[in-house]
Amino acid sequence: MTERAVLRNRDFTLYWAGVVASQIGTRGTVAANFYHVYQLTGSIAYTGLVGAAQAVALLVLSPLGGALADRLDRRRLLQAAQGVALVVAAALAWLTLTGQVRAWQVVASVVLTTAAATFDQPARQALIPALVPRAQIGQAIALLNPSRELAILVGPLLAGTLITVAGPGLMYAVDAATYGLLVAVLGVMRIAAPAPGGERRSVLGSIAEGARYIRHRPLIYKLMALDLSATVFSAYRVLLPALAVDVLHVGSTGYGVLSAAPSAGALLATYSVYRTVQRSSRQGRVLLAATALYGVSALLLAHAPLYWTAVVAAGLLGACDAMATTIRHAAVQIDTPDEIRGRVTAFYQMSSRGGPAIGDVVVGAFAGLVGPVAALTVGAFGPILVAAAFWTREPVVRSYTGV
């Protein structure tokens, strides 16, 4: 099986390109949000509210988003969610460019955008098995993840440049345009609506069914626990503005490069990640090793003596995260039948995306008391200790083979 075989699927290729374009705007805006709030308030703790806004929307709305992804046409649901995000980005761009924006409005925009994403993400992940044969699901995810990393690399770099040239408002305007592009791409894709799966339940009944499925699938709920516990304590995004401005003294352009470095590391690791999910029968062991090395990389970032040392450490963070994330995401998609995939994906995103968002709050508040270096130092031990515990006590994760 080669990369070309996966890319022969027309609709997957279109989807792949659209997601990359949309993610450029989205990830650039996330970087701009953190910097913008820190610029407006000078407070790391307040900057952590960006993560809090994401966490609230994710934890409250994700189950509903998953239920709808299994009941509605996933492509149309994606288009609607992207349309809502487009309106929010355009409004924030107008407020910023006209000089009327306040920090609370930036945080409010994060709530609304993340709320739209809670309906977007389950449908987005659950759509992949409809675009490629089952045997290519792992490879498709292994290609899609680094492609998003490419966007995440370009996005923060673009944000740093646009902030320097014209402020965050221009980044928000670009974000609105990329949402519009993905809406258009989804419109020309040919995807059959999924067949109804079994008895039609109420929305709450559908959510409960998804929760029951996860409860009886030890691999899935233990991967969720691993993801959540590892990412809450080592959230580094919220600290990057303070590290760039106050510790490394490199300003907004340097911040853009530092924010993009994890994605550069993920891209450099693409070949290894792809081959691992394609060929390795020890994916569980690789997953736990990558989780532990993620913590080690966070330690290196916290104590980097020079700016470029910090960039390298952030790149290692991205490489380790790409390996662990791809294995976890592929395992969940492979282990879940299509008729319930949206709900399971939604519950999983509560840990995969909610963990870092909650971590932004916890680590941001802690850094407000002890400073960014000490906060990241303490938090970096989280993934290391969690991976060690799973290695010794969770054989279902350690022995996962990828099939």
Are 196 and 216 within one domain?
Answer: no
Are 291 and 181 within one domain?
Answer: no
Q: Which has the closest alpha carbon to 103: 52, 29, 166, 46?
A: 46
Are 196 and 207 within one domain?
Answer: no
**Could you list the residue range(s) of the whole structural domain that residue 91 is in?**
1-200
Are 143 and 235 within one domain?
Answer: no
Are 257 and 379 within one domain?
Answer: yes
DSSP state of 247: I
Are 195 and 214 within one domain?
Answer: no
Structure tokens at 358: 């909650």
Q: Which of 184, 200, 216 is the last residue of a domain?
A: 200
Q: Which of 164, 180, 200 is the last residue of a domain?
A: 200
CATH code (residue 259): 1.20.1250.20
Q: What angle, rounded to 10 degrees, do the helices at 341-352 and 103-127 form?
A: 140
Are 276 and 194 within one domain?
Answer: no
Domain count, the chain: 2
8 Å CB contact between 22 and 321: no
Distance (Å, whole) CA 259 – CA 358: 19
Q: Is 401 helix (H, G, I), strand (E, B) or coil?
A: coil
Q: What is the pLDDT of residue 121?
A: 67
Are 257 and 175 within one domain?
Answer: no
Q: What is the pLDDT of residue 1?
A: 43
Are 192 and 206 within one domain?
Answer: no
Q: What is the pLDDT of residue 313?
A: 92
Angle of CA points 67, 283, 6, to nearest 5°:
65
Are 127 and 71 within one domain?
Answer: yes
Q: What is the pLDDT of residue 198?
A: 46
pLDDT (tens, 9 = 90+) of the chain, 403 residues, equals 445 555 556 667 777 777 778 888 888 888 888 888 888 888 877 887 787 777 776 667 767 766 676 666 677 777 888 888 899 999 999 999 998 889 899 988 988 888 887 776 666 666 666 666 555 566 666 666 666 667 777 888 888 888 888 888 999 999 998 888 888 877 777 665 554 444 456 667 777 777 788 777 877 888 888 877 777 877 788 888 888 888 888 877 788 788 878 878 887 877 677 677 666 677 778 888 888 999 999 999 989 888 989 999 999 988 888 888 888 877 777 777 767 777 777 777 777 777 777 787 788 888 888 888 898 899 889 889 988 888 888 787 787 776 6
Q: Which of 200, 227, 254 is the last residue of a domain?
A: 200
- Other CB atoms within a 10 A radius of the CB of residue 4 amount to 7
Q: What is the pLDDT of residue 217?
A: 80
Q: What is the pLDDT of residue 197?
A: 47
Are 206 and 195 within one domain?
Answer: no
Are 190 and 226 within one domain?
Answer: no
